[in-house]
Chains A and B, each alone.
Chain A
């Protein structure tokens, strides 16, 4: 009975302090909403309206037709017409346009000649996405009365299952849940112990009968609840703003969420016992955040990464959680289909929590 009541005392105290800390309270709702809106609207791999400059040295019926087609794709936004290729290059270098189209004076003849390129598209190669887009422009069919239209029949047809309209938010939001929960949960607890150390509360606390485990678990409990509230905020915002579906069971999603939240809280707590200032704690969470965003499959496809990056990715809780959320939300998978991922998260949470409780000694030296 005593351990339980002490644990509840710690939890009650944490909740009281949290309620009075406006910044923390704002973070609970602010971070998820801000991130959803940022990622949902800003990250769009479906690129349109790239600023384009054109030099049309041919100025024939055919070349003007070609420019009209370029405009019609909506990928390019014809920004300026210039008269020489050198001017085109200047604009590119200055970053004023992303794409330059150079149509040589013998354009009509080149179109008819299969061995020579009819026009050149100069691309700002410093942005990898734009290069990919420009590559797509190559396949633009040229309609020309006297030249047979080159008809390509596709050998392979791609069918995007689970996201047929290829909407970016549908791909991003399940992963974003992982990123948002990691960020908030880890920051909350990473400062939890070290803050009390800095304020001097710890010297008093460790002189009371409260045990390390009671203190650690008592501190974590309220944040699990907050994490679940955040999960709800993200799901509702995802549905209202971007129409992101939850095709599988919401309960499954919440169970996975619970375990993932616990894993992050435990890791944050472990960090908190290892550092000596709140500043260090924040640094450590950022150190953790970068690989989590890059190597988890959130940004780059997991299987495309080098072996070592995949090993690191496998060790991160977020990788497993993103697989779970994508599975449950988009592919209508159940937890049973992905039990290994859930077990990994559970084991991770347990190990990190134990490490935190062991690392937190009731001593000062």
Chain B
């Protein structure tokens, strides 16, 4: 891909905190006007990567180019062009919604003659009109996140960095939140968003899965689902607990996850007869179950790529 089509390009980006390697030789190519997802367990380095990309943290190794600007060297030039929504709510609790927006608008030097109109527009777009005079500290989780997004986009940035913007938001609000993101992406904004939610990850144009600071998968969600390298077997059992114990004992099994009365079993594709082995071990234990092949969900992809090396080898 041409550098001009990329909003973010990072090569070998690494960050050490003392002994801990929080981000490990990360290569990233984020196309412009795309929604790019960061999926990864707690502590996998999502926030650290985002902070390096906007110049808040200095990489231990590697380099990044964001919107044609080298960071962290010239991060100052970048500030007016990016919007950043922190993982933790970082607006002023003792200011009202309007005052928060007003302060951010002033800080970004939105011209006086356009400022009031722009604030109204944001209040409107992010459904905050009624909360206008409410103190930010007293708002609900979802309202806060709408305000934070509103503040992050008030200056119409080219790149939005959103760090877990929808944690603590109900599914309906999450859908609304994502509707806003799609609208922004359509208007040409590049969005990098970190998340724990599979349904959100599925909506991204492209996805990187991080584990222990390293990128373990990268691509459009559908493509990742096609190429897990795993046979996925779904087992429907009356006694899922015993079924799980029996299946876990099989040496070829990489992972078993229980979803209600269903079990999802991941076995490397290199094992040709995974399904047969599962059926056999279940009947050996006298467990009545229905086992069949299934296609990979994004959750299966996530489980497959974040497995410990040891587990896969076992």
- Residues from chain A with Cβ under 8 Å of B82 in the complex: 207
Let me know if B95 and A6 touch, CB within 8 A. no
A2 to B90, CA, bound (A): 23
A16 located at the interface, meaning its Cβ lies under 8 Å from any Cβ of chain B in the complex: yes
Summed over the interface, the residue pairs from A and B with CB atoms below 8 Å come to a total of 77
- Residues from chain A with Cβ under 8 Å of B151 in the complex: 204
Option from B51, B75, B107 in Cβ contact (under 8 Å) with A9: B107
Q: What's the nearest-Cβ distance from chain A to residue B235, in Å?
A: 45
- Stretch of B53-61, B62-70, B124-132 lying at the A interface: B53-61
The contact string, 1 if C-beta is below 8 Å from chain B, for chain A 1-45, is 010011011101100110011000000000000000000000000
Let me know if A210 and B89 touch, CB within 8 A. no
Of chain B, the residue at the smallest CB distance from A208 is B107
- Residues from chain A with Cβ under 8 Å of B89 in the complex: 200
Let me know if B109 and A204 touch, CB within 8 A. no
Which residues of B (56-98) have their CB < 8 Å from a CB of A? 56-58, 72, 75-76, 79-80, 82, 84, 86, 88-95
Option from A2, A8, A206, A365 in Cβ contact (under 8 Å) with B58: A365
Option from B57, B90, B99, B106 in Cβ contact (under 8 Å) with A364: B57
B108 located at the interface, meaning its Cβ lies under 8 Å from any Cβ of chain A in the complex: yes
Count residues of chain A with CB under 8 A from any CB of chain B: 28
Interface centre among B72, B82, B103, B151, by most chain A C-beta atoms within 10 angstroms, is: B103
A6 to B104, CA, bound (A): 10
Interface majority SS on A: helix, strand, loop or mixed?
A: helix
A209 located at the interface, meaning its Cβ lies under 8 Å from any Cβ of chain B in the complex: yes
- Residues from chain A with Cβ under 8 Å of B57 in the complex: 363-365
Let me know if A363 and B72 touch, CB within 8 A. yes
Let me know if A201 and B90 touch, CB within 8 A. yes
Q: What's the nearest-Cβ distance from chain A to residue B31, in Å?
A: 23
Using A17-B95, A203-B90, A204-B91 as known contacts, say yes or no to A6 and B109 having CB atoms under 8 A apart.
yes
A203 to B90, CA, bound (A): 7
Q: What's the nearest-Cβ distance from chain A to residue B102, in Å?
A: 8
Using A207-B79, A364-B57, A365-B58 as known contacts, say yes or no to A6 and B92 having CB atoms under 8 A apart.
no
The 8 closest A-B pairs by CB, nearest first: A9-B106, A204-B90, A200-B90, A207-B84, A200-B88, A209-B79, A208-B107, A364-B56
Known: A204-B84, A363-B55. 12 other contacts (CB 8 A): A9-B106, A13-B92, A16-B95, A16-B99, A17-B94, A201-B90, A201-B92, A204-B151, A205-B107, A208-B107, A209-B80, A209-B108
